[in-house]
Structure 1
Amino acid sequence: MTIEHGGALDRAIARFGGTRADWLDLSTGINPEAFPLPEIAPEIWNRLPDESLLTQALDAARGYYGAADTAAIVAAPGTQALIQIVPELVAPGEVAILSPTYQEHHVAFARAGWAVVPCADVGSVPATAKAVVVVNPNNPDGRIVPGGELLALAERLGRHGGFLVVDEAFADAHPEVSVAGEAGYDHLIVLKSFGKFFGLAGLRLGFAISGAEIVRKLAERLGPWAVSGPALAIAAHAFASGPVLNDFRERIAARRDRLSAIFQRTGIEEIGGTALFALIRHRQAHVLHEELCRRHILTRKFDYEREWLRIGLAAHEADFNRLEQAFKDIRA
């Protein structure tokens, strides 16, 4: 199964020309503004990350995500690493994945020998499912499953030795939807991405919050020093940044409003999304994608839904103006 992800700028350049500096990459759900980095002591670069640094970062993450004191938490080099490990923690069975969604969950479970059943909603999850995966808010349509439904599903699965994976990669900007505060049992695994919201995807950092046994297994599989010292130091700083973090969150909201305003003015139908990206419907979305590429603007198209494009946030006002003018030129 070949998966196309956002951020494939090199391929776009190879086909449509230009240099990286020429392109406006709106194909990802990563915040285009990187969170301000702290000064990092030289010894953090020079030494393996020690236990105190890891504990500091995990404690900061626990507070930031609102995890209960009884919950266990583990840091990983990106949630992608966790997505690949989780299916291997128990003997395979049947897994239901609310779809369409981030396709790496399907790939990871199938590779581990699970029978994957795509489901449209929680009500469609078969009683035979041993595990369920819900991306919440969902990528790419922004669908939100209420927390009460998720917790009820997790308890149901737990009664038969199963578990629910809730991937909250885009929940930082929508904290009200998070169930991280209810984690602490092995039948609920909450995945958290650091890089998307904080605009630091290159750092490769993610967290899993669950029961002690699941987290122990994850930590064992990840091995020692799974996360770099600088990544841990940056996370601890970001999680505790208070007013700076509030301002950062407000700028994300302002960019998102600016993107929606462009769709309204240019007659583009917006059908979903999260704070970090929008999903639009267009009768010839793949043609629109190519026309934008010819103008060196990259968006995310989908093979499974040819009327959808996902469009991320731009960093600067000039970039938003460029996108708006491109839509107008294409429609002219």
Structure 2
Amino acid sequence: MSDAFAWHGGRLDAARAHYGDRREGWVDLSTGLNPVPWPVARAPGWNWAALPSVAALAGLEQVAARFFGLDPAHLCAVPGSEIALRLLSGIVPGPGRHIAPAYRSHGAVFPASDGGGTLLLANPNNPDGHCRSRAEMDALLHRQAQQGEWLIVDEAFADARPEHSMAAAVADGRRLIVLRSFGKFFGLGGVRLGFVLGPVAVIAAYRRRLGDWPVHAAALAIGAAAYVDDEWIASARADIDARADRLARLLRGHGFASVGDCPLFTLIETDAAPELFERLARHGVLTRRFDYAPRWLRLGLPGGAEQWDRLDKALRDG
């Protein structure tokens, strides 16, 4: 089996090459994206022939800042939160560490998982779905501040659990940076849109590195319209919770216990994880396995009835 499936989710090309294409298509449960994306048709049109508008960028950042609960001066748009992570080492001085298990990119930015310096963690965490309360996060920020160090919180999956977000705590004089992702909750990973939230000096450093056109015109239009679609956002949160409950019940019915509090994906732990990954893949259901934790398997949320039926059948068939 290719190591591509243990590296990160969304490797449909590798799945087709390894297991073959399928007339009915693949069910991709490997990414943790909302399976019911925000309807892009609601966004106003954009002009591919023109450079992205400065006014449109400012407008997107204003509505995103309002959505996150902070002043727009403390926010800048980036072409996906992955890019923001990769730029961290040139912006935050000194050594750093990440809390494992975590995104692979966390380990790439700060390879150490113990020691002092800047602390990078995800909340909700990926891949185990652990979600720290706001009180826990405030305590971590206080501890880092006492040591004169930074706290960086990757909130890529926080839109489904906004009550735990540290976004509103961002301020000048506070060594706190929050990273947010558009694609997970809104189900539009291909838009490649994210945000850095931090002190004004940090935001200025990011802007210098990103240049005049940090995100493309489609991302500006789609993001600005989606962040003010309050009715869709409320409905999506309720729908995601309902799907998460349904997935947990389905897995329990097949003898697997769900782990984690992130509703956009769940983790199961079983000695049979490698065989289960293979069985699901043979049925055209792609999940996420982990080379460093062979007993783990992560599943995102199915979309329509056909996807639920195919997952149920794949779990049932040996």
TM range (shorter): over 0.9
Q: Which amino acid aligns with 1:60?
A: V
Question: Residue 84 of structure 2: SS of its match in structure 1?
Answer: helix
Counterpart Cα distance in 2 of 1:20 and 1:274: 32
1:209 deviates by 0.6
Farther off after superposition, 224-233 or 192-201 = 224-233
Counterpart Cα distance in 1 of 2:13 and 2:233: 32
Alpha-carbon RMSD across the aligned residues, in angstroms, is 2.0
Pair 1:244-2:244 in alignment:
no
Question: Residue 289 of structure 1: SS of its match in structure 2?
Answer: helix
Question: What residue ranges of structure 1 are gaps of 5+ in the alignment?
Answer: 111-115, 120-125
Question: Residue 140 and residue 175 in structure 1: after superposition, are their counterparts in 2 closer, same or farther (change >3 A)?
Answer: same
Counterpart Cα distance in 1 of 2:57 and 2:100: 35
CA deviation string 1:67-99 (max 9, x = no partner) = 2x3861010000000000012214432x22111
Pair 1:41-2:42 in alignment:
no
| Match for residue 271 of structure 1 among 254, 259, 267 | 259
1:287 deviates by 1.1
In structure 1, the partner of 2:184 is 196
Pair 1:51-2:38 in alignment:
no
Pair 1:296-2:298 in alignment:
no
| Match for residue 76 of structure 1 among 78, 103, 109 | 78
Q: Determine if contact 1:84/1:108 at 8 Å carries over to the other structure.
A: yes
Matched-pair identity in %: 38
Count of residues paired in the alignment: 313
In structure 2, the partner of 1:101 is 102
Counterpart Cα distance in 1 of 2:207 and 2:229: 27
Counterpart Cα distance in 2 of 1:7 and 1:19: 16
| Match for residue 170 of structure 2 among 178, 183, 198 | 183
Question: What residue ranges of structure 2 are gaps of 5+ in the alignment?
Answer: none
CA deviation string 1:279-328 (max 9, x = no partner) = 01111201110111111111100111111100011111121111111111
Counterpart Cα distance in 2 of 1:133 and 1:66: 22
Pair 1:151-2:152 in alignment:
no
TM-score, normalised with respect to structure 2: 0.92
| Match for residue 260 of structure 1 among 248, 261, 276 | 248
In structure 2, the partner of 1:134 is 121
Question: Residue 232 and residue 280 in structure 1: after superposition, are their counterparts in 2 closer, same or farther (change >3 A)?
Answer: same
Pair 1:18-2:5 in alignment:
no
Farther off after superposition, 30-39 or 158-167 = 158-167
In structure 2, the partner of 1:230 is 218
Question: Residue 272 of structure 1: SS of its match in structure 2?
Answer: coil
In structure 2, the partner of 1:212 is 200
Farther off after superposition, 265-274 or 295-304 = 265-274
In structure 2, the partner of 1:27 is 30
1:273 deviates by 4.8
